[in-house]
Amino acid sequence: MPEHPSYNEFAGRRVDRIAAISDGIFGVGMTLLVLDLRLPEAELIHGERDLCRALVSIVPQLVVYMMSFATLGIFWVGQQTGLNHLERSDRHLTWIYLAFLFPVTLMPFSTKLLAGFVWSRMAVIAYWLNIVLLGGGLYAAWGYAYRHKLMKADTPQGVAAAVCRRIVIGQALYAFGALLCVFDTRLSIVFIVLVQLNYVIAPKFRAT
Protein backbone atom coordinates (compact mmCIF):
# COMPACT_ATOMS: atom_id res chain seq x y z
CA MET A 1 0.00 0.00 0.00
CA PRO A 2 1.30 3.50 -0.81
CA GLU A 3 2.41 5.58 2.13
CA HIS A 4 0.35 8.66 2.85
CA PRO A 5 2.24 11.85 3.68
CA SER A 6 1.77 13.21 7.19
CA TYR A 7 0.29 16.63 7.84
CA ASN A 8 3.64 18.01 8.99
CA GLU A 9 5.24 17.17 5.64
CA PHE A 10 3.06 19.52 3.60
CA ALA A 11 1.83 22.13 6.11
CA GLY A 12 3.10 25.71 5.98
CA ARG A 13 5.12 25.48 2.76
CA ARG A 14 3.84 28.66 1.09
CA VAL A 15 6.30 31.52 1.57
CA ASP A 16 3.86 34.01 0.02
CA ARG A 17 1.30 33.29 2.73
CA ILE A 18 3.87 34.06 5.43
CA ALA A 19 4.66 37.32 3.65
CA ALA A 20 0.97 38.19 3.42
CA ILE A 21 0.19 37.78 7.11
CA SER A 22 3.46 39.49 8.02
CA ASP A 23 2.65 42.55 5.93
CA GLY A 24 -0.80 42.73 7.49
CA ILE A 25 0.44 42.49 11.08
CA PHE A 26 3.29 44.95 10.53
CA GLY A 27 0.89 47.36 8.83
CA VAL A 28 -1.61 47.19 11.68
CA GLY A 29 1.11 47.48 14.31
CA MET A 30 2.67 50.53 12.67
CA THR A 31 -0.75 52.16 12.30
CA LEU A 32 -1.77 51.53 15.92
CA LEU A 33 1.29 53.43 17.11
CA VAL A 34 -0.16 56.77 16.05
CA LEU A 35 -3.42 56.25 17.94
CA ASP A 36 -1.69 57.06 21.22
CA LEU A 37 -0.69 60.52 20.03
CA ARG A 38 -3.32 62.74 21.62
CA LEU A 39 -4.35 66.27 20.74
CA PRO A 40 -4.01 68.83 23.53
CA GLU A 41 -7.14 69.28 25.65
CA ALA A 42 -9.18 72.03 23.98
CA GLU A 43 -10.36 73.55 27.26
CA LEU A 44 -6.74 74.13 28.31
CA ILE A 45 -5.85 76.05 25.14
CA HIS A 46 -6.62 79.77 25.20
CA GLY A 47 -4.20 81.03 22.59
CA GLU A 48 -1.22 80.33 20.36
CA ARG A 49 1.19 80.29 23.30
CA ASP A 50 -0.84 77.63 25.13
CA LEU A 51 -1.04 75.51 21.99
CA CYS A 52 2.71 75.84 21.42
CA ARG A 53 3.43 74.74 24.97
CA ALA A 54 1.04 71.81 24.65
CA LEU A 55 2.67 70.66 21.43
CA VAL A 56 6.12 70.89 22.99
CA SER A 57 4.90 68.76 25.89
CA ILE A 58 4.08 65.86 23.55
CA VAL A 59 7.51 65.88 21.88
CA PRO A 60 8.74 62.95 24.05
CA GLN A 61 5.73 60.90 22.96
CA LEU A 62 6.38 61.81 19.32
CA VAL A 63 10.03 60.74 19.62
CA VAL A 64 9.04 57.37 21.09
CA TYR A 65 6.43 56.94 18.34
CA MET A 66 9.00 57.62 15.62
CA MET A 67 11.47 55.30 17.35
CA SER A 68 8.93 52.48 17.36
CA PHE A 69 7.95 53.11 13.74
CA ALA A 70 11.62 52.86 12.80
CA THR A 71 12.00 49.70 14.90
CA LEU A 72 9.16 47.96 13.09
CA GLY A 73 10.41 49.23 9.74
CA ILE A 74 13.89 47.82 10.36
CA PHE A 75 12.57 44.41 11.37
CA TRP A 76 10.08 44.36 8.49
CA VAL A 77 12.95 44.93 6.05
CA GLY A 78 14.94 42.19 7.78
CA GLN A 79 12.08 39.75 7.57
CA GLN A 80 11.35 40.55 3.94
CA THR A 81 15.02 40.03 3.13
CA GLY A 82 14.78 36.55 4.63
CA LEU A 83 11.55 35.69 2.83
CA ASN A 84 12.99 36.85 -0.49
CA HIS A 85 15.79 34.31 -0.12
CA LEU A 86 13.51 31.38 0.72
CA GLU A 87 12.84 28.69 -1.84
CA ARG A 88 10.13 27.19 0.33
CA SER A 89 9.01 27.01 3.94
CA ASP A 90 7.87 24.21 6.24
CA ARG A 91 5.64 23.90 9.27
CA HIS A 92 8.39 24.68 11.76
CA LEU A 93 9.68 27.75 9.95
CA THR A 94 6.13 29.02 9.57
CA TRP A 95 5.64 28.84 13.32
CA ILE A 96 8.99 30.54 13.91
CA TYR A 97 7.80 33.43 11.77
CA LEU A 98 4.47 33.51 13.59
CA ALA A 99 6.36 33.64 16.88
CA PHE A 100 8.40 36.52 15.43
CA LEU A 101 5.18 38.39 14.67
CA PHE A 102 4.00 38.15 18.29
CA PRO A 103 6.34 40.90 19.58
CA VAL A 104 5.29 43.00 16.57
CA THR A 105 1.78 43.05 18.04
CA LEU A 106 3.26 44.02 21.42
CA MET A 107 5.10 47.06 20.07
CA PRO A 108 2.12 49.47 20.39
CA PHE A 109 1.83 48.50 24.08
CA SER A 110 5.53 48.87 24.90
CA THR A 111 5.55 52.16 22.98
CA LYS A 112 2.60 53.50 24.97
CA LEU A 113 4.28 52.38 28.20
CA LEU A 114 7.54 54.13 27.37
CA ALA A 115 5.84 57.27 26.03
CA GLY A 116 3.79 57.55 29.20
CA PHE A 117 6.68 56.89 31.56
CA VAL A 118 9.82 58.15 29.81
CA TRP A 119 11.42 58.61 33.22
CA SER A 120 10.97 54.94 34.18
CA ARG A 121 13.80 52.43 33.92
CA MET A 122 11.23 49.63 33.95
CA ALA A 123 9.52 51.13 30.90
CA VAL A 124 12.86 51.24 29.06
CA ILE A 125 13.63 47.63 29.99
CA ALA A 126 10.16 46.50 28.84
CA TYR A 127 10.68 48.28 25.52
CA TRP A 128 14.13 46.73 25.13
CA LEU A 129 12.74 43.25 25.85
CA ASN A 130 10.27 43.80 23.02
CA ILE A 131 13.22 44.45 20.71
CA VAL A 132 15.01 41.36 22.06
CA LEU A 133 12.02 39.21 21.10
CA LEU A 134 11.98 40.70 17.62
CA GLY A 135 15.70 40.11 17.11
CA GLY A 136 15.55 36.60 18.55
CA GLY A 137 12.70 35.63 16.26
CA LEU A 138 14.43 36.96 13.17
CA TYR A 139 17.69 35.25 14.12
CA ALA A 140 15.90 31.94 14.68
CA ALA A 141 14.17 32.17 11.31
CA TRP A 142 17.39 32.79 9.39
CA GLY A 143 19.24 30.08 11.28
CA TYR A 144 16.52 27.48 10.78
CA ALA A 145 16.13 28.25 7.07
CA TYR A 146 19.88 27.92 6.51
CA ARG A 147 20.32 24.71 8.51
CA HIS A 148 17.38 22.99 6.81
CA LYS A 149 18.36 24.11 3.29
CA LEU A 150 15.18 26.07 2.62
CA MET A 151 16.96 28.96 0.92
CA LYS A 152 17.16 29.49 -2.83
CA ALA A 153 20.02 27.83 -4.65
CA ASP A 154 21.28 31.16 -6.01
CA THR A 155 21.56 32.74 -2.55
CA PRO A 156 25.13 34.08 -2.24
CA GLN A 157 27.38 32.14 0.09
CA GLY A 158 27.57 33.68 3.52
CA VAL A 159 24.36 35.71 3.37
CA ALA A 160 22.71 33.93 6.31
CA ALA A 161 25.84 34.23 8.44
CA ALA A 162 26.20 37.92 7.58
CA VAL A 163 22.58 38.67 8.46
CA CYS A 164 22.76 36.72 11.73
CA ARG A 165 25.94 38.59 12.62
CA ARG A 166 24.19 41.87 11.86
CA ILE A 167 21.30 40.88 14.16
CA VAL A 168 23.66 39.99 17.01
CA ILE A 169 25.53 43.30 16.67
CA GLY A 170 22.26 45.18 16.59
CA GLN A 171 20.99 43.41 19.70
CA ALA A 172 24.24 44.17 21.50
CA LEU A 173 23.85 47.86 20.67
CA TYR A 174 20.24 47.87 21.84
CA ALA A 175 21.31 46.18 25.08
CA PHE A 176 23.94 48.85 25.65
CA GLY A 177 21.31 51.50 25.02
CA ALA A 178 19.01 49.89 27.58
CA LEU A 179 21.83 49.81 30.14
CA LEU A 180 22.22 53.56 29.81
CA CYS A 181 18.93 53.95 31.65
CA VAL A 182 20.94 53.35 34.84
CA PHE A 183 22.19 56.92 34.35
CA ASP A 184 19.24 58.52 32.56
CA THR A 185 16.37 57.03 30.57
CA ARG A 186 16.69 59.85 28.06
CA LEU A 187 20.21 58.63 27.24
CA SER A 188 18.76 55.22 26.44
CA ILE A 189 16.16 56.69 24.10
CA VAL A 190 18.66 58.90 22.29
CA PHE A 191 21.14 56.04 21.86
CA ILE A 192 18.48 53.66 20.52
CA VAL A 193 17.35 56.33 18.04
CA LEU A 194 20.95 56.71 16.85
CA VAL A 195 21.26 52.94 16.40
CA GLN A 196 18.10 52.93 14.32
CA LEU A 197 19.26 55.84 12.19
CA ASN A 198 22.43 53.88 11.48
CA TYR A 199 20.43 50.91 10.24
CA VAL A 200 18.06 53.09 8.22
CA ILE A 201 20.76 55.03 6.37
CA ALA A 202 23.46 52.33 6.33
CA PRO A 203 25.06 51.35 2.98
CA LYS A 204 23.33 48.68 0.97
CA PHE A 205 23.65 45.11 2.18
CA ARG A 206 26.55 43.07 0.84
CA ALA A 207 27.07 39.36 1.33
CA THR A 208 30.80 39.76 1.97
Sketch the domain layout of the chain as residue ranges: 11-201
Residue 151, strand partner residues: 86
Residue 86, strand partner residues: 151
Q: What are 5-49's pLDDT values in tens digits?
A: 554 554 445 778 888 999 999 999 988 888 776 666 666 666 677
3-state SS assignment for residue 85: coil
Q: What are 154-204's pLDDT values in tens digits?
A: 777 777 788 888 899 999 999 999 999 999 999 999 999 999 888 888 655
pTM value is 0.82
The whole-angstrom separation of Cα 40 and Cα 191 is 28
